[in-house]
Amino acid sequence: MIKLHKQDYETILAHARKEAPVEACGLIAGRTENGDKFIEKVYILTNTDHAEEHFTLDPKEQLAAVKDMRANGLVPLGNWHSHPVSPSRPSEEDKRLAYDSKASYMILSLMDEEPVLNSFHVENNKATKEELIIE
Partner 1 sequence: MTITVAGTKKEYEDGLTVAKLVELENVETPEYVTVTINEEFVESGSFASTTLKDGDTVEFLYFMGGGQY
The footprint of partner 1 (CB under 8 A) covers: 23, 25, 27, 49, 51-57, 59, 62-63, 66, 70, 79, 81, 83-86, 90-94, 97-103, 105
User: Smaller CB distance to partner 1: residue 30 or 90?
Assistant: 90
Calpha distance 105→26 (Å, rounded)? 10
User: Smaller CB distance to partner 1: residue 4 or 69?
Assistant: 69
CB of 75 to partner 1, least distance (A): 10
CB of 34 to partner 1, least distance (A): 22
- The arrangement of strands across the sheet holding 104-109 comes to 126-130, 116-123, 104-109, 75-83, 25-33, 36-45, 2-4, 132-134
User: Smaller CB distance to partner 1: residue 67 or 133?
Assistant: 67
